Amino acid sequence: MKKLRVMIGLVLSVCLPVSSFAIGDAAVVAQLVINKAANSVKLEKEISELMDENSHLKALLKEGLGNYGYGNLLNSPSDLNQREWSPSSWQNALHGLAGNNPARYQQLKTLYKQNHPSLSASDYQKGASAASTKAYENQVNTNRAATVQANYAFDDIQKHLQDVHQLSQQIDKTQNTKAAMDLNNRLLAEMSYIAVQELKMQTILSEQMSETNSATLADKAEAARFNQLPVQK
């Protein structure tokens, strides 16, 4: 402030005769210069704050860009191929067809046959009607498909647990907000895979219940036809 007053005095003494100014006029001019200097300091501060904010926004924008590879983490085409182990349709499952891991699927089918012995349709028909034989064959196929897929899904649970654990280990390694969001989305995708497996097993249970009801209806129909036979005297 002292330097500013000296500067004002020099300006007034050099540029204009002292007599041309009244004391009041000099005070007004001095105040104008002081106000302008204060406004300049304020403007410089505002510019500095805007520059800092701009740098912060650029940093945020940079964090929101980029690909950190989390989408493909434990989610490559080969990983997807392993997840598609089940048959593509329920009819394929009933016929014993496999998905993308036929060796394991056939192994589970063999284990099922060893643990669940049953008559063939031709042997069963020797002591039953055609309708009852068809219902029996459907029940055998449904139970086999459901058991095989349930065993496979149960074995697959461990793989999902390992994947979720490995993904969670990356949480503290994310570089910025974008990377953290990408990792979170990958975890959500893994949860979706698990949810699909749960839906598949619920559907299989529904198929089993439906087949059981169909077999019950077939037995009732067979009994009704038997009761309609003429009584021999």
pLDDT, one tens digit per residue, over 177-222 is: 888 889 999 999 999 998 988 898 899 889 888 888 888 888 888 7
Cα–Cα distances (Å) from 76 to 9, 69, 134, 223, in that order, read 79, 11, 43, 55
d(CA 233, CA 215): 33
Half-sphere exposure of 45 (CA within 13 A, CB side): 6
% of the chain exceeding 70 in pLDDT: 83
**pLDDT (tens digit per residue) in 23-32:** 556 677 667 7
Domain ranges of the chain: 2-63, 70-227
**pLDDT (tens digit per residue) in 38-78:** 777 787 888 888 887 877 767 766 666 677 788 888 888 88
Q: Give ∠ CA 164-196-192 in degrees, rounded to 5.
A: 45
- The pLDDT assigned to 69 comes to 83
- The pLDDT assigned to 16 comes to 46
- The pLDDT assigned to 21 comes to 47
d(CA 19, CA 148): 111
Question: Which residue in this structure is represented by tokens 């969001």?
Answer: 181
Residue 184 three-state SS: helix
pTM, two decimal places: 0.62
Q: Which amino acid is at 84?
A: E
Please give the structure tokens belonging to residue 187: 């975890």
